[in-house]
Each structure stands twice: as structure tokens, then as C-alpha cells.
Amino acid sequence: MSKQFEIIPAIDLIDGKCVRLSQGNYDAKTIYNENPVEVAKAFEDNGIKRLHVVDLDGAKAGKIINAKVLEQIASSTNLEIDFGGGVKTEADIKLVLNAGAKYVTIGSMAVKQQEVVAQWLNKYGFDKFFLGIDVKGEFVATNGWLETSTKTIYDVLDFYNGIGFNYFFCTDISKDGMLQGISEDLYSKVISKYKDLILVASGGVSSVKDIDAAKRIGCSGAIVGKAIYENRITNEELKSFL
């Protein structure tokens, strides 16, 4: 994890296939490829180093479902993978790391069970985790975006800032999968408040201009999904950030 700007393509998994949702709606999914390993290899061939893999089945079920796909991607590429969706227990953390992920992504638990997650961070090391905060406005959403919390993004960041953890991605659900641009105002506000934060923008990237915007306002990277799959961002444009 570093402040150096990173492009992080996303592979979202349902039934072992590479899909994308719109605004977190499981009924509004598009299947882009039946074989996520092929997709991951193509990213690597184009110079990509990082990959964001989300087990959407796991996020919905509350337990990891697609660990085998993670294993296949990790064994077939040299990509640095973060994997999340359904991580609820220490056994899940071990499963994800043993399957080849560099980072364990934790979302809902990072909001609902902060003391437990703090214990995991201390036990396994801060460098093994990438925490995700999903928001509607500034309020946090959990459980695969099916619930909205009374906590704000600042409540969550205050806690982790207090223990020295600073590696996060933030997804504005209203933007995700909609190709309408990133939440520049929110990210700017968050970055100005937390000086040591390593924040990756997620949701809404529609063109290379949005990646430029994320970099300009001080984000440390951008997670890109649908814009790549629908050819709104070319491989050549991605390479300019590598």
C-alpha cells in the first residue's frame, strides 16, 4: 500500500462469473465473461499489477462462496489481489490469504464489528487488509449494500484513524455501475480531513477523465469496472497511469 496512484480493475463474481451490478442491485446484473481467470490474465498482459475481486455471492450470503475462483486467479497470474465479500471470521481471513490474496477486503464487519476487526488488524498486520466503506451520501451501507447504517463515513474513519490504520476504498452506491463520474466532493472532503489516509476511489468511473479527477484530488488509486468492460476506457489510456 502506498500513496503512489494505482489503477485497480474490479472483477465482481456471481456464480463464478465476471459480472457488474448497477447501484448494488443483484437483479440488475450484466455478465461480462464466464471465465474470470481469462479476464485477470488480460489485465496482467496489459501491465496491470493490482486486482480488486469481490465475491458478490459471499457478500449476500454472509460467507465466502467464490474462494476457488480467487485461488485460480492467484495461481494463474502474478497480480496483487484484494479479495472480499462475506469475510466474517478469522477462518475466512486465513482462507483468503491462503488462496493467494495479498489483501483481505473487509466491508460490513469494518463498520459493525470494529473492535473485532481491530484485533484482526493487529494479529495479522495492517499490511494484510484493505477496508471498504460503502456509502449513500455520507451514511454507511452494509451487507452487500442491502442495509444503510446510522454511522457516517467519518465515524468509521475516526475509529481506524485512532488505531493507525489508513488504507481504504470508498464506494458511493448511487454512482456504482452507473458511469456517471466519481464522488469528487466526498473524496476531497475526506482526504482533507484525514491527512495520512490512503484512499482509493470506487464507483462511477466512466472515462479516463474520472481517473484524472481521482488523482488530482489526492486519491491514491481508482477501482475501475464497467468502464473497462464496456470499452469506455482503452488499454492505452490505462497504461498512461501505470
- Residues annotated as part of the active site: 12, 134
Q: DSSP of 48-77, one letter per residue?
A: --EEEEEEHHHHHHTS---HHHHHHHHHH-
SS (H, E, C) 123-153: HHCHHHEEEEEEEECCEEEECCCCEEEEEEH
Burial of 178 (0-12, 13-18, 19+ CB in 10 A): middle
Contact 88, 134 (CB under 8 A): no
Q: Can you tell me which residue has the cell 490469504?
A: 97
